[in-house]
């Protein structure tokens, strides 16, 4: 019985490891814009509380907190998804 040697070419080759980022600069800039839009949405959503717990403050139901701020957060998330899928070239 003859034993055959199998040459494993993948172990004999030296693997090159290059330090490449997953995304390009353009993608990171788009992600930064998305994060700023999300942060702006959360900032607009904050506030409206009352100092006295027995007094109800109607300011929590204004347009800025109910419509505008959540819309900005969703737009920011959409920008983030676009930044992930955008072709950097």
Q: Longest Cα pair distance anywhere in the chain, in angstroms? A: 93
Over residues 5-20, the pLDDT tens digits come to 555 555 556 667 677 7
Q: What is the pLDDT of residue 67?
A: 95
Of residues 42 and 14, which shows the higher confidence score? 42
Query: Rounded to whole angstroms, how far apart are CA atoms 40 and 33?
Result: 11
Q: What is the pLDDT of residue 9?
A: 54
Query: Residue 35 to residues 1, 26, 40, 47, 74: CA-CA distances in angstroms?
Result: 67, 14, 9, 20, 11
The total number of residues shown for the chain amounts to 89
The domain spans of the chain are: 19-85
Q: What is the pLDDT of residue 49?
A: 73
Inter-residue contact 33 to 79 (CB < 8 Å) = yes
Give the residue-averaged pLDDT of 78-89.
90
């Amino acid at each position: 019985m003859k034993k055959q040697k199998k040459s494993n070419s993948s172990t004999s080759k030296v693997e090159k490891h290059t330090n490449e980022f997953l995304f390009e600069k353009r993608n990171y800039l788009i992600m930064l814009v998305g994060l700023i839009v999300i942060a702006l949405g959360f900032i607009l959503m904050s506030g409206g509380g009352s100092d006295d717990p027995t007094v109800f403050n109607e300011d929590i139901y204004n347009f800025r907190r109910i419509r505008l701020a959540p819309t900005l957060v969703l737009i920011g998330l959409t920008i983030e998804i676009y930044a992930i899928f955008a072709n950097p070239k």
